[in-house]
Amino acid sequence: MGTTLWGGRFDGASDARMRAFGDSFSFDWRLASYDVTGSIAYAAALLDAGLLSPEEHGAIVSGLVAIAAEFAAGTFESSSDDEDVHTAVERRLTELIGETAGKLHTGRSRNDQVATDVRLYVLDAVDGVTAAVRAVQTALVTKAEEHRDAIMPGYTHMQAAQPILFSHWLLSFFWKLERDRTRLRDLRARTAVCPLGSGALAGNPFPIDRDALATELGFDSASENSLDAVEDRDFVAEFLAAAAVLQTHLSSLAETFILWAGDAYGFVRLDEAHCTGSSLMPQKRNPDVLELIRAKAGRIQGHLCGFLTTLKGLPSGYNKDLQEDKEGLFDVVDTLMAELPIVADVVAGLEVNAERMAAACEEAMLATDLADYLVDRGIPFREAHRIVGVVVRAAESAGCPLGALSVETYRGIHPAFGEDVHAVFDVHRAIARRAVKGGTAPEAVDRQIEAAHGVLAA
Amino acid sequence: MGTTLWGGRFDGASDARMRAFGDSFSFDWRLASYDVTGSIAYAAALLDAGLLSPEEHGAIVSGLVAIAAEFAAGTFESSSDDEDVHTAVERRLTELIGETAGKLHTGRSRNDQVATDVRLYVLDAVDGVTAAVRAVQTALVTKAEEHRDAIMPGYTHMQAAQPILFSHWLLSFFWKLERDRTRLRDLRARTAVCPLGSGALAGNPFPIDRDALATELGFDSASENSLDAVEDRDFVAEFLAAAAVLQTHLSSLAETFILWAGDAYGFVRLDEAHCTGSSLMPQKRNPDVLELIRAKAGRIQGHLCGFLTTLKGLPSGYNKDLQEDKEGLFDVVDTLMAELPIVADVVAGLEVNAERMAAACEEAMLATDLADYLVDRGIPFREAHRIVGVVVRAAESAGCPLGALSVETYRGIHPAFGEDVHAVFDVHRAIARRAVKGGTAPEAVDRQIEAAHGVLAA
Amino acid sequence: MGTTLWGGRFDGASDARMRAFGDSFSFDWRLASYDVTGSIAYAAALLDAGLLSPEEHGAIVSGLVAIAAEFAAGTFESSSDDEDVHTAVERRLTELIGETAGKLHTGRSRNDQVATDVRLYVLDAVDGVTAAVRAVQTALVTKAEEHRDAIMPGYTHMQAAQPILFSHWLLSFFWKLERDRTRLRDLRARTAVCPLGSGALAGNPFPIDRDALATELGFDSASENSLDAVEDRDFVAEFLAAAAVLQTHLSSLAETFILWAGDAYGFVRLDEAHCTGSSLMPQKRNPDVLELIRAKAGRIQGHLCGFLTTLKGLPSGYNKDLQEDKEGLFDVVDTLMAELPIVADVVAGLEVNAERMAAACEEAMLATDLADYLVDRGIPFREAHRIVGVVVRAAESAGCPLGALSVETYRGIHPAFGEDVHAVFDVHRAIARRAVKGGTAPEAVDRQIEAAHGVLAA
Amino acid sequence: MGTTLWGGRFDGASDARMRAFGDSFSFDWRLASYDVTGSIAYAAALLDAGLLSPEEHGAIVSGLVAIAAEFAAGTFESSSDDEDVHTAVERRLTELIGETAGKLHTGRSRNDQVATDVRLYVLDAVDGVTAAVRAVQTALVTKAEEHRDAIMPGYTHMQAAQPILFSHWLLSFFWKLERDRTRLRDLRARTAVCPLGSGALAGNPFPIDRDALATELGFDSASENSLDAVEDRDFVAEFLAAAAVLQTHLSSLAETFILWAGDAYGFVRLDEAHCTGSSLMPQKRNPDVLELIRAKAGRIQGHLCGFLTTLKGLPSGYNKDLQEDKEGLFDVVDTLMAELPIVADVVAGLEVNAERMAAACEEAMLATDLADYLVDRGIPFREAHRIVGVVVRAAESAGCPLGALSVETYRGIHPAFGEDVHAVFDVHRAIARRAVKGGTAPEAVDRQIEAAHGVLAA
């Protein structure tokens, strides 16, 4: 056997620099367990098709199992000739069982082999990320139940808008993450299609049972077209896109906590374990971990864009360009699997300063409720809105909150204001009024929590 | 009524330059029909909740219907005070029916209103794009049936690899597009969630029946959390991502046709309607339209990246940044709806030069089959591959095709070669051998065509 | 003359849908004045080369001047056959002066023509954007001079870190924008290379003086290689990249102002002209314009990424893909030219709440100065930092600021603390100590202001 | 000394998972030599300012030199407490020289330290990449000189357009790369600004001579504003943008070589060292290395987009988000430094099939010259173009090349055609006519080669 899989073809030695540039074993060794799993299944298919004897099959499977153990134990020794994980495994198999190893590649190409490996990897990654997202969701619901009644300003345009329950705010992220889980579920189905048996491009020339192979490997089905099977990397792009959207949620959550943990807001305090200090300023308590989570939206989006760019304009047929599918994918999975448990911890470890949150609920936030008061007295909302604008300016001129204006002042502005106008200035009343589905009223939040538990239990 | 919806609040005139920068009516007028539809449904909800009298409701609905007609006829006259489509419609409604118009905004905010409008737009866009993708799929199947038996080289690394059926190649794009359709279907479900009734952020303070509202508007359900409802633009990002993946397929198809229509390949000829000439070179027949389709992968990916960047790090709560969701979205939908019918036309109008395709099927492409011949004689594939490498070099040295080497030469290279070795050099035999599911053999392609029809009929 | 420039070549009518997809006049009409300028210069070159008679030249120039006037007055009437601005101008020229118009295209191709037009456009855009950036810089320096002595917390990790002068903060953006100006200057030099006279790809076959043509059009030089000249769009990509970096600065400035204008900080108040109200909440004062500026970082980056993707993997030679260079470019220029004056206005109109800024300067921000106090007494900084950490915790336990701890407490923590330790707790002293070049001390800021004026005057 | 630089501050142990997520030593160790260089210069500044005694200075410098040697030899042993390269170096320095090490951080923050390190790294990277680009340029000029007279079709729209010299084509890439070099040169100037002495944000409180420090470290100047100095990463973004544009050139070169090395064109043959074989198909000769170069445009653009996204909307002040500046940067530099020498090798090793190139120069490519023939006879170009369109169709109908039509046929189409019309059909004549600056005529190419040598010598 030559030093490379295609050793018989070339006279000259391959240029070392080029080899270092083109070889992928430095990163695709991470697919080793999937490669072995795929090969064991393929050996069974060759056995069924009469292309391996039971003895040959036994030898191959034993060798592969031993190789998997070497990878798992970290004792696999690579050779400088290992272009990629597939050649490394085959080279080692030959060392272990001799030239019978050469029968494993019958009808198979690295093109269908690597497509199978990467899909198996993504299926596992989807399951891991889904579970990690679920853990964050659980932390959010738990925290919401714990602080169900804490009130705070709801913000739009980063300005206090209307009072809400903090629990309602926490749950808003629950639903974002729930969408992320459904996206992962949907792309999982498109990933669970087995390309093995497609050969280099035209299909396997031996009578392999591809449906059995797919089932054996845990796929839902075998691919419909061999050309598409070896070049399709949609599932990678789609996974990266789902990760990018998920990361916008994490990034937004991180930004909000960074703000609220700062001196100016002071709504929450992060657990010390989630802060770092300063090498220069002894008083600092920096939310480094959240800043990194915010930042990593760039990293993940970058991998998405990069890979879409790589795919752009490729002529059909397997092209080596597709080798660029792996490093970004691995990095995204590693990033998500590192940060999601941290996000769950941050949520669980959050110390809530309910007093400061409540204190930030100024009466100006009830201006809409004041307009609604007029609506209840028959004034069209648009006109009520205009009248309350006048009230807001009057309070600003007087340098006092809305509720400190007298009934006379109110009636001077508009006769529809009654003696009971001050009843409007009750934050809890304002919150309780928003009792429609999805609203911030305590009863609506209770229904939301119930729905969230239902989703988690599903 | 002031010149703006928030006219009562400010003393000074708003800066004109700022207005031009911030207003969105120049592009969001495209949402007008959705805005009217949403308002009609909302008026019904206000009627049911006792916030409008039947007379008021009737007037509002009549006015809205008239406004929709004006937009449809292109007679709607905008005012310089129209910040966005919502204010334009409300301003016009006030002109038509007087101050009753001011009741329509009761409990509603532009935040939930615009979220509803954009979702209704995306739902329509998904349906339109899905149908246009389906038309391309139909053209591909039809063409595949028409040229079921044309043979051509299958390429990997842009080099001839193994012979395939042209119909098999056409169908490889059918399945890519089928994935696109399932992606659209999945994101449609996440889009079909109604935010109306969420107010500015905290929920509607009046007893609106949000589930009825959702049903009335054709959504599957009402949103679970008012904060999330007004800030969620996942469905836009997800649509852009699905479009970006779809466009990589179109880009790849275009690249391949451009290559094959060129002098060097000459496999296909584009219908003249799909070519342009040169202002300088009278002989040119440029595939401009395909080049643009290839290029637009950049455009669509750019919109995706741009919007993900806009979402990155936003603090929770509606922020004006979200106004940037529209122009990219509209441009992507317009691009897809313009180019997909063209792609279908290009496929349908393709003139196939089957002779030139067949002539490009050189014997070197049967080298794998030669190795398989040895496999059938008990030689491990890896060793067979090495032996065939020697054969390939021998043929190169002799300056002849593989099939022109004599049996003696073959046997001199390896004794397992028999008298029947030349039978390998039959392209049709090579194609017929790949009869597994998804393979290029005629019978496998027939099964694929059948499956494709099943999918189209579903 | 046929209906298109390449009309003699094709029998069939061009497909209308394809035409709508491929034509560019709907956006490249914006290049009309550059196209006319380029054509006038080219006509002079043809005259010099003896390819036009003086009469023909006179007629062509008169016609072109008339067309430019039509475009400027908005009276140019387009025809459905106008593929692009070049054909529109030529069609109109033919209408105005007859078939002599057909001589203008001698030796010229739309390939070198459009490359010239776009470069002329970018040269103007660079000048316009540079001036607009300079206006923001001027506003920053003016504001810094006005509020030279206001103190505020300097932030890192969005947490108060050390006291600084507000003027120092304002100037930090001056220098970012100065880099933007130098980037624009550098790319201008690479843009000012004239492609005209390169023909479709191989060079002009007539003896045109390309250096004279370049000079006439205001370019620095003529391009060195005709193939490169017609396909080079580096200058577009580089402009988009410079715009994207500039926009990260504007985005960061906007984010900071949004934060500081919010209730929690209250450091600044935006001019009412730069705020909008809420359709639902009468009390709101939303910094919409700043939110949009923050958001548009996505838009501009999206155009950059999109265009780089479009360029990726293009085979050499002019390809129609390059037509995608324009819309993103125009949008980026429009965005910058709209928002930069607004940013200058926002800075100029900023109301500064110096009291609130000063009040936010807590003693904990002087912890580094306390460590420096120990350094001055011979303790290694790292040890001093550790000691101050103990002080910070002691103050937290006691629930008091650092300066409220007694001398005894300090000496109990470390004997190097002296009677004068409380002198450290003076924000002005802390600021004055940072007097190195680039530091926040008043004298250093004065030198910075002087340097800024020097840069603006250059 | 505590286990972390901020050890005195916190009671609880930092969470291990968070540490693994936030620490950067796993990648920023690559900055070690720059970190040591920066620290040696800073120690000299402290000595000059009287903050270190000569003995302390000597000990620190000796220790730092020893640490640099350890990193260079690969013997530096990291500790699990090493957050980043700065803390690792300081920890090791303390081990080597004791608590004097703690004096090195006087007045310095990791904020200005890391900014200095990264700038030193980029300066080196710019120099390395510039030299590697220059080597590709040299290979292109050398190859152009070697094959100065080979003719080939020039392509537009991937269709043969006009004949050119292959040397002209090679040089077209020379000039693209020359622009890349000037971009690197320009951004180098913006990178060569020293942030050291800016402290955490507000400036160094000790009387350090920052100008001397800048000079000592090889910078052109010291930064003007401490806030900007610690948060500015423009130079990283600009380097990534320049790399992305450079990579579009490499990607285009790769795409063109892949096409031309394929069976359909056969213009060039890659050196075997730059090809790989197939694990399944023994006859393959895949241009893997070029496919990867084409693909890596995605990788580099992804890093650019990702980092711009990370920067978007950051509030001013150092934020931990900036730690994300390194991995992408390192990867881009590694990618360029790996592939540029390969590109130079590929160009140098290219085997040119001049016969096949010449054979592809069909007479249809001379259609423009035929039109020019009519122009020389006084017919306006547009009309001449139309007439030649009729000729092209006549030749197509007759199934013969343009030159095979008889003089009578020509004169039948238009009387301006003369007896000498067939003289047009000479490829060398067509090439020689394009003798303007930048044209493909041999004499123009000679001038270009001379200019290229001038640029390389500069």
Residues spanned by the domain of C337:
111-359
- The pLDDT of residue C177 is above 60: yes
Collect all residues of chain B within an 8 Å Cβ-Cβ radius of residue C292.
Answer: 21-22, 320-321, 323-324
Q: Are residues D372 and D392 in the same domain?
A: yes
ipTM for the predicted complex comes to 0.95
- Say whether B310 sits in a helix, a strand or coil: helix
- Domain of A93, CATH number, reads 1.10.275.10
Please indicate, yes or no, if residue D4 is contained in any of the structural domains: no
Chains that touch A (3 or more CB pairs under 8 A): B, C, D
Nearest to C11 among B6, B272, B295 (CB): B272
Tell me how close the Cα of A118 comes to any Cα of chain C, in angstroms. Answer: 25
In a domain, C1, yes or no: no
Quickly state the pLDDT bin for C300 (edges 50, 70, 90): very high
Q: What is the pLDDT of residue B272?
A: 82
Tell me if B438 and A229 make a contact (CB, 8 A cut-off). yes
User: D211 contacts in C (CB within 8 Å)?
Assistant: 437
DSSP-assigned states of every residue in A313-358 = TPPSS--GGGGGGHHHHHHHHHHHHHHHHHHHHHHHHPEE-HHHHH
| B279 band by pLDDT with thresholds 50, 70 and 90 | low
Nearest CA in chain B to A250: B313
User: Do residue D295 and residue A286 have CB atoms under 8 angstroms apart?
Assistant: no
- C313–A313: do the CB atoms touch at under 8 Å? yes
B77-81, B338-342, D175-179: the lowest-pLDDT one = B77-81
CB pair distance less than 8 Å for C295 and B321: yes
Co-location of C308 and C214 in the same domain: yes
B-C Cβ pairs (cutoff 8 Å, strict): 229
The encoded tokens of residue A80 equal: 């400088």
Shared domain check, C168 and C70: no
- Whether the pLDDT of residue A392 is over 50: the answer is yes
Whether residue D453 sits in one domain with residue D380: yes
Q: Which of D62, D78, D221, D278 is catalytic?
A: D278
* Residues A438-454 pLDDT 10s: 999 999 999 999 999 99
| Domain at C371, CATH number | 1.10.40.30
> What is the distance between the alpha carbons of residues B51 and B61, in angstroms, rounded to a whole number?
15
* Six-digit token string for D186: 């320009």
Position B10 confidence tier, pLDDT thresholds 50, 70, 90 = very low
Pick C160's closest partner by Cβ from A263, A282, A288: A263
CB contact under 8 A, C227 and D392: no
Residues B17 and B155 in one domain: no
D94: Cβ contacts below 8 Å, ≥ 6 apart: C382, D1, D101, D102
Q: From the CA of A146, how many Å to the nearest CA of chain D?
A: 23
Band of residue A15 on the pLDDT scale cut at 50, 70, 90: low
pTM for this predicted structure:
0.96
pLDDT digits (tens, 9 = 90+) for D327-368: 999 999 999 999 999 999 999 999 999 999 999 998 889 999
CA of A13 to nearest chain D CA: how many angstroms apart?
7
User: What percent of chain C has pLDDT above 70?
Assistant: 96
For residue B274, what pLDDT band results from cuts at 50, 70 and 90? confident
Q: d(Cα A342, Cα B15) in Å, to the nearest integer?
A: 45
Helices and strands (H, E) in chain D, number of each type = 18, 6
pLDDT in tens, C54-97: 999 999 999 999 999 999 999 999 998 899 999 999 999 999 99
Cβ pair A202:B168 closer than 8 A = yes
Residues C264 and C383 in one domain: no
CB count, 10 Å around CB of B147?
18
Q: How confident is the model at residue A273 (pLDDT cuts 50, 70, 90)?
A: confident
Give the pairing type, strands B159-165 and B151-156: antiparallel
Decide if C292 and B323 are in contact by the 8 Å CB cutoff: yes
- Determine contact, residues C305/C216, Cβ cutoff 8 Å: no
Closest Cα in chain A to D244: A306
Residue among C17, C310, C339 minimizing CB distance to B341: C17
Tell me: do A196 and A308 sit in the same domain.
Answer: yes
**Domain closes at, from D359, D383, D404:** D359
Contact between D203 and C438 using a beta-carbon 8 Å cutoff: yes
Q: How many Cβ pairs within 8 Å bridge chains A and B?
A: 427
Residues A417-435: tens digit of each pLDDT: 999 999 999 999 999 999 9
Contact C226, C201 (CB under 8 A): yes
Residues in C touching B345 (Cβ below 8 Å): 15, 17-18
- On whether the CB atoms of residues A84 and A24 are closer than 8 A, the answer is yes
- Asked if A101 and A74 sit in the same domain, the reply is yes
Average of per-residue pLDDT across C367-390: 94
Question: Which member of D157, D279, D316, D397 is catalytic?
Answer: D157
Q: How confident is the prediction for chain D on average, in pLDDT?
A: 94
Radius of gyration of chain A (CA): 31
Q: Report how far residue A18's alpha carbon sits from residue D275's, in angstroms, rounded to the nearest whole number.
A: 9
Q: Is residue A131 part of a domain?
A: yes
User: Bridge partners of C156?
Assistant: C159
Q: Report the pLDDT averaged over residues C140-158.
A: 97
Q: What is the pLDDT at residue C280?
A: 65
pLDDT band, very low/low/confident/very high, at A377 (cuts 50, 70, 90): very high
The predicted pLDDT at position A373 comes to 97
State yes or no: pLDDT of A9 exceeds 70.
no
CATH value at residue B276: 1.20.200.10
pLDDT value at A347 more than 50: yes
Q: What residues contact A76, with CB distance under 8 A and at least 6 apart?
A: A29, A32, A67, A70, A88, A92
Determine, for residues D111 and A288 on separate chains, whether the beta-carbon distance falls below 8 Å: no
C438: left (phi over 0), alpha (psi -120 to 50) or beta: left
Asked if A438 lies within 8 A of B223 by C-beta distance, the reply is: yes
Mean pLDDT across chain B: 94
One-letter amino acid at C107 equals G
Which residues in D lie closer than 8 A to residue B283 (C-beta atoms)? 364-365, 367, 388, 392, 402
Inter-chain residue contact B161 with D284, CB threshold 8 Å: yes
Does the distance separating the beta carbons of D273 and A14 come in below 8 Å? yes
Retrieve residue D456's tokens. Answer: 């390389």
D316 is catalytic: no
Q: Are residues A253 and A319 in the same domain?
A: yes
Distance CA B236, CA C386 (A): 50
Whole-number pLDDT of residue C13: 47
Contacts of D281 in chain A (CB under 8 A): 200
- Nearest-10 crossing angle of helices B54-73, B32-48: 170
Q: Point out the domain boundary residue: B359, B376, B402.
A: B359
Q: Is B223 a catalytic residue?
A: no
Say yes or no to pLDDT of D8 above 80.
no
Q: Which residues of A are catalytic?
A: 157, 278
Enumerate the β-bridge partners of residue A163: A153
The percentage of chain B sitting over the pLDDT mark of 90, rounded to a whole number, equals 90
Are B385 and D162 a contacting pair at CB < 8 A? no
pLDDT higher than 60, residue D3: no
In angstroms, what separates the C-alpha of D395 from chain A's closest C-alpha?
A: 32
Which of B282, B308, B368 is nearest residue D388 as measured by Cβ atoms? B282
Mean pLDDT of A150-168: 96
The structural domain count of chain C equals 3
In a domain, C3, yes or no: no
- Given a cut of 80, is residue C166 above it in pLDDT? yes
Using alpha carbons, select from A203, A101, C395 the residue that is nearest to residue B445: A203
Question: Over the stretch B171-208, which tens digit does the pLDDT of each residue have?
Answer: 999 999 999 999 999 999 999 999 999 999 999 999 99
Do D284 and B158 make contact, defined as CB atoms within 8 angstroms?
no
Residue D3 lies in a domain: no
Distance (Å) from the alpha carbon of D441 to chain A's nearest alpha carbon: 33
Q: Tell me what pLDDT residue A285 has.
A: 81
Residue D82 lies in a domain: yes
Q: Which residue has the tokens 């970082």?
A: C297
Asked if residue B19 is part of any domain, the answer here is yes
D277 to chain B: closest CA residue: B389
Residues 6+ apart with CB under 8 A from A85: A24, A25, A28, A29, A30, A31, A32, A35, A117
List the single best residue of C18, C28, C108 to mutate versus B (max B Cβ within 10 A).
Answer: C18
Between chain A and chain C, how many beta carbons pairs sit less than 8 Å apart?
Answer: 119
Averaged pLDDT score across all residues of chain A: 94
User: C165 and C149 in one domain?
Assistant: yes
Per annotation, catalytic residue among B53, B79, B221, B278 = B278
pLDDT digits 0-9 by tens, C329-350: 999 999 999 999 999 999 999 9
In terms of domains, do B247 and B337 share one? Answer: yes
pLDDT at B11 over 70: no
Chain D residues touching residue C372 (CB < 8 angstroms): 106-107, 205-206
Dihedral over alpha carbons B6, B8, B12, B13 (to 10 degrees): 50
| Whether residues D80 and D215 fall in one domain | no
Report whether pLDDT(A10) > 50.
no
Band the pLDDT of C25: cuts 50, 70, 90: very high
Quick check: is C2 in a domain? no
Domain-ending residue, one of D359, D394, D414: D359
To the nearest whole Å, the CA of D344 is away from the closest chain A CA by 12
Residues of B whose CB is below 8 A from D161: 278, 281, 284
